[in-house]
C-alpha cells in the first residue's frame, strides 16, 4: 500500500488526469519502480482499480493535498517543479461529479454491449458436431467462460459447479468438455480465433477511438514449469526462455499496443525447432491481415538479424533491445568514461554470404542505475533511428496482458497439446473481449477512451455467461 501511495503521489505531482500517463511514465522509468520496492510495473487496470476502488475518497483527497503542499513548498524554496501548484485548495464541483458515469451506469451499459459482442464473436467458434446433439454447442463456450471466471479451476470441478449456476437444462461434464476440445486441431483453433477477433475488430472499428493502424508487440510467454514426465511430448514441452534445466509449454502472441485498444490479434504455440523468424513472420501475417501495422516491438530474444531483416523487407519499422556482446560492452565502457548518456551508430549485421542488414544501434543510459559499470547502458536496434525509441515503453502492455490472460485460463494436468493451446487461446479471446467492451462502454458514456479500464474483467466475463447465454 505504501508503494502505491507513492505512485499516486507522483501522479498528482505531475498533474496527470488519468492513470494512462502514470503507466506510460513508469514503463519508461522502470528503475523508479525498483526504487519504490515494486518488482514490476503495475498494469493500468491495477492502477485504475487502486485509485477508484481500493483508495477511499478521504485517502485520495489526502494524496492530492499532500502533492499540492509539496509543490508549493518546493516552489517557494526555488526548486523546479513539474507543474504550477494551485495556491488555493480546489473546491468540489457537484455538477462535474454528476457528469461522471457511476458504477450502475457502467454495469448497465456493459451488459448491453457484452450481450451484443457475445452474439457477434462466439459464433466464429464451432465444435463441428451434428445437429442431433442433446447439449447445445454454446453450453461448451458457457462452461469455458465460467472456468475463466474462477482462477485455477479445472474442467471437472468447474463442470460440477456450473450445473448449479447455469440456466441451461443440460450442461457438459468435464470429461465430455475436454473430449470435444481435443477433437480440434491447432490450425482449426487458430482459424476460429482469427475469425472471432476479426468480428471483434469490426465492432470497435466503428468508433473514432479505435486506431486500426499502429503498433504491435510480439512476445512469447510460458505456462507454469512442467515437473512431470514429458516422454513423447519433448517437441511441445520445451525448455524455458531463461535457458535453465526446466521445461514448460510456450505460447506466442501478437497484440495491439500504444494508443489502440490492446486486442490480441493472434496466438500460436511454440514448438521445439521453430525459429524466431518463423514465429514472427507467422504472427505478422495474421496481424497484417487484420489491421495496418507500422511498427513492431519485441524483446531482446528476437534480436536476430534475420528477424530484423524480415521485418524490414515487409516495409515495417522495429525497435528491439540488443543483447550486449563484447563490442557493445566496450562501447558502453567508453560512454561511461565520457559520462555520455546517449549514443547512436549505424551497424551492418551479417546475414550470410555477402548479405547484410543495416540497422542503428542506440545506447541509452538508465537513470539512477544500481550499477557503476557498463551495465548502466541499454542498447536498442531500430531501422528508423532513435525517433521510435520512446514507443518501446508500449511493449510492457503485452506482458501486462499476459497476467490477465493467465488468470482467465482453465487449469489442467493434461499433456494434450491442442487442449492446452485452446485454453490459452480462449483466454486471449476473453481478454480481448473485455478490453473491447471497455472501449465501447467508455465511448458510449464519456465520448472518449482512456486505456485505464472502467469495466472490470470479472464484470465482463460474468455478463458474458449471464447475459448472452453464449459464453
pLDDT score, position 187: 97
pLDDT score, position 423: 94
Nearest to 239 by CA among 259, 222, 254: 222
Tell me: pLDDT of 204 over 60.
Answer: yes
Separation CA 193–CA 201 (nearest Å): 12
Tell me: pLDDT of 91 over 50.
Answer: no
pLDDT score, position 94: 44
Nearest to 199 by CA among 117, 111, 315: 117
pLDDT score, position 76: 64
* 343-385 pLDDT per residue, tens: 999 999 999 988 999 999 999 988 777 788 888 899 999 998 7
Least confident of 150-154, 337-341, 440-444: 150-154
Taking residues 399-428, report their average pLDDT: 92
Tell me: pLDDT of 418 over 80.
Answer: yes
Least confident of 16-25, 193-202, 340-349: 16-25
* 294-304 pLDDT per residue, tens: 999 999 999 99
Give 213's pLDDT tier (boundaries 50, 70, 90).
low
Tell me: pLDDT of 95 over 50.
Answer: no
pLDDT score, position 130: 64
Separation CA 140–CA 162 (nearest Å): 11
Please give the share of the chain, as a percent, with pLDDT higher than 70: 93
pLDDT top residue among 176 and 236 = 236
Tell me: pLDDT of 93 over 50.
Answer: no
Q: Is 96 helix (H, G, I), strand (E, B) or coil?
A: helix
CB-CB neighbours of 151 under 10 Å = 12
pLDDT top residue among 188 and 243 = 188
Residues 6+ apart with CB under 8 A from 304: 276, 277
Give 466's pLDDT tier (boundaries 50, 70, 90).
low
Q: What is the DSSP letter of 50?
A: I
Among all chains, which residue has been given the C-alpha cell 465444435? 127
The alpha-carbon radius of gyration of the chain (Å, integer) is 24
Question: Do the Cβ atoms of 423 and 412 come closer than 8 Å?
Answer: yes
pLDDT score, position 321: 94
Domain boundaries, the chain: 2-99, 102-471
Least confident of 89-98, 147-156, 158-167, 413-422: 89-98
* 290-330 pLDDT per residue, tens: 999 999 999 999 999 999 999 999 999 999 999 999 999 99
Nearest to 223 by CA among 274, 178, 267, 174: 267
Taking residues 22-26, report their average pLDDT: 82
pLDDT score, position 131: 65
Tell me: pLDDT of 470 over 70.
Answer: no
Amino acid at each position: 500500500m505504501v508503494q502505491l501511495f507513492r505512485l499516486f503521489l507522483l501522479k498528482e505531482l505531475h498533474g496527470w488526469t488519468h492513470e494512462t500517463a502514470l503507466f506510460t511514465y513508469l514503463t519508461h522509468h522502470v528503475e523508479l519502480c525498483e526504487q519504490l520496492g515494486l518488482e514490476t510495473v503495475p498494469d493500468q487496470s491495477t492502477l485504475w482499480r487502486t485509485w477508484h476502488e481500493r483508495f477511499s475518497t478521504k485517502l485520495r483527497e489526502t494524496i492530492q493535498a499532500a502533492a499540492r503542499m509539496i509543490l508549493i513548498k518546493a516552489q517557494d524554496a526555488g526548486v523546479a517543479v513539474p507543474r504550477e501548484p494551485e495556491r488555493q485548495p480546489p473546491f468540489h464541483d457537484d455538477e462535474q461529479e454528476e457528469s461522471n458515469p457511476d458504477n450502475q451506469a457502467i454495469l448497465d451499459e456493459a451488459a448491453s454491449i457484452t450481450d451484443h459482442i457475445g452474439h457477434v464473436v462466439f459464433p466464429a467458434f464451432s465444435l463441428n458436431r451434428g445437429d442431433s446433439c442433446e447439449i447445445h454447442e454454446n453450453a461448451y463456450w458457457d462452461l469455458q467462460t465460467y472456468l475463466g471466471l474462477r482462477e485455477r479451476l479445472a474442467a471437472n470441478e468447474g463442470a460440477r459447479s456450473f450445473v448449479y449456476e447455469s440456466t441451461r437444462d443440460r450442461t457438459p461434464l468435464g470429461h465430455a468438455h475436454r473430449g470435444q476440445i481435443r477433437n480440434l486441431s491447432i490450425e482449426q483453433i487458430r482459424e476460429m480465433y482469427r475469425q472471432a477477433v476479426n468480428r471483434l475488430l469490426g465492432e470497435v472499428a466503428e468508433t473514432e477511438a479505435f486506431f486500426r493502424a499502429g503498433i504491435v508487440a510480439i512476445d512469447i510467454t510460458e505456462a507454469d514449469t512442467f515437473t512431470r514426465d514429458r516422454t513423447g511430448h519433448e517437441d511441445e514441452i520445451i525448455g524455458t526462455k531463461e535457458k535453465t534445466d526446466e521445461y514448460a509449454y510456450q505460447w506466442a502472441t501478437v497484440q495491439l499496443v500504444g494508443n489502440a485498444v490492446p486486442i490480441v490479434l493472434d496466438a500460436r504455440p511454440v514448438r521445439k525447432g521453430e525459429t524466431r523468424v518463423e514465429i514472427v513472420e507467422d504472427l505478422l501475417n495474421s496481424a497484417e491481415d487484420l489491421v495496418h501495422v507500422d511498427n513492431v516491438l519485441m524483446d531482446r530474444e528476437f534480436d536476430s538479424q534475420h528477424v530484423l531483416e524480415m521485418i524490414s523487407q515487409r516495409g515495417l519499422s522495429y525497435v528491439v533491445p540488443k543483447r550486449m556482446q563484447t563490442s557493445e560492452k566496450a562501447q558502453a565502457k567508453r560512454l561511461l568514461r565520457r559520462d555520455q548518456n546517449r549514443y547512436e551508430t549505424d551497424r551492418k549485421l551479417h546475414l550470410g554470404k555477402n548479405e547484410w542488414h543495416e540497422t542503428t544501434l542506440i545506447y541509452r543510459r538508465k537513470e539512477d542505475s544500481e550499477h557503476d559499470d557498463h551495465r548502466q547502458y541499454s542498447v536498442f536496434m531500430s531501422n528508423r533511428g532513435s525517433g521510435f525509441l520512446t514507443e518501446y515503453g508500449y511493449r510492457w502492455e503485452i506482458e501486462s496482458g499476459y497476467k490477465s490472460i493467465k488468470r482467465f485460463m482453465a487449469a489442467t494436468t493434461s499433456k494434450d497439446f491442442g487442449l492446452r493451446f485452446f485454453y490459452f487461446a480462449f483466454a486471449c479471446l476473453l481478454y480481448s473481449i473485455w478490453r473491447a467492451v471497455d472501449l465501447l462502454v467508455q465511448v458510449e458514456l464519456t465520448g472518449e477512451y482512456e486505456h485505464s479500464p472502467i469495466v472490470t474483467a470479472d464484470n465482463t466475463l460474468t455478463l458474458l455467461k449471464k447475459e448472452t447465454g453464449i459464453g
